[in-house]
Amino acid sequence: MKKKILNYTLILAIVSLFTIVGYGQKTDTVIVDASKVNTKFLTPGTHRYLVYFKMGKDSSRTKYQLWSRTINFISYQDHDAISITQEWEDNNSIVHTAYSVVKGNDFTTLYHKTWWKRPVSFTFDFVKKQASLDDVSLSIKTDSVNINRLSAFEKASSQYFLNWHLDLEVFSLLPYKTGAIFKINFYDPGFRPPSSELYSVIGSDTLTGYNNEQIDCWLLQHGSLPENQEVYWISKKTREVLKLEQEFSGKFRYKIKLGFSD
């Protein structure tokens, strides 16, 4: 009996220890709405990322792509706006393009047009409330896939969301602090309806840049293992996403920001 009491006491002590540790890690959930984003951190110009996969942690790199993302401050329908032009290329061709226009103050999506090599082209005009596939309105499409696309677009049009296709730019806008958990209503036009996604600031790390520059970064995590986990390195000084490491089913995907653009 004495041995059982000692074991029970030990279990209680362990539980108490984990409880204390848990309480010691202060978190703060930030619901990201129009008042929480700050577009002043966006850097105009062309930014390029090297994207590749590794089929295992120590495997060779494969499936290379180069992503070019150009940010411009423009006027759109007489209002201050920001355009983001994307061009993704593999080793011998362009595989995807996207052109998005967002409000200059809160990053609300006004217009979004994408093209994929399949080929297929989507246009979503959130001002006119019109959506089309290959220049044919989704409102006259009768197949279930496009009915769902239109339904998702209509839901998104009635609420504040951030464009998931512009995630690398969105991450520059957030109010970072230790322990923050960002609840972001993300929507990628043409896909499923808006959904709340949690991104956690899990700490800091240092990347070494050119001339041995030490770049202090926030670590932003989305998802969890073993299914899918993303960790972003975001410069504390410029708020640019400098690196992504994504792990899923023992495989890895990386995005590395290049220092120069031609």
What pLDDT, in 10s, does the model give residues 248-258? 999 999 999 99
pTM over 0.95: no
With vertex at residue 213, the alpha carbon angle to CA 253 and CA 201, rounded to the nearest 5 degrees, is: 50
Which of 67, 1, 6 is CA-nearest to residue 254? 67
Q: Are strands 45-54 and 61-76 parallel, antiparallel or unpaired?
A: antiparallel
Total domains in the fold of the chain:
1
Q: Find where tokens 């000692």 sit.
A: 6
Calpha distance 198→175 (Å, rounded): 14
Low-confidence ranges of the chain (pLDDT < 50): 1-24
Q: What is the CATH number of the domain that holds 128?
A: 2.40.360
pLDDT score of 262: 65
- Judged by phi (left if over 0) then psi (alpha if -120 to 50, else beta), residue 203 lies in left
pLDDT in tens, 196-241: 999 999 999 999 999 999 999 999 999 998 889 999 999 999 999 9
State the DSSP code for 219: E
4 assigned to some structural domain: no
Query: Coil, helix or strand for 129?
Result: coil
Which pLDDT belongs to residue 63?
95
* 177 occurs within a structural domain: yes
Distances from the Cα of 135 to the Cα of 110, 155, 233, angstroms: 18, 21, 38
Longest dimension (CA), the chain: 81
- Where in the sequence is the domain holding 204, given as residue range(s)? 28-257
Instruction: Name beta bridge partners: 195.
Output: 186
The amino acid occupying position 18 is: F
User: Is there a domain that residue 11 lies in?
Assistant: no
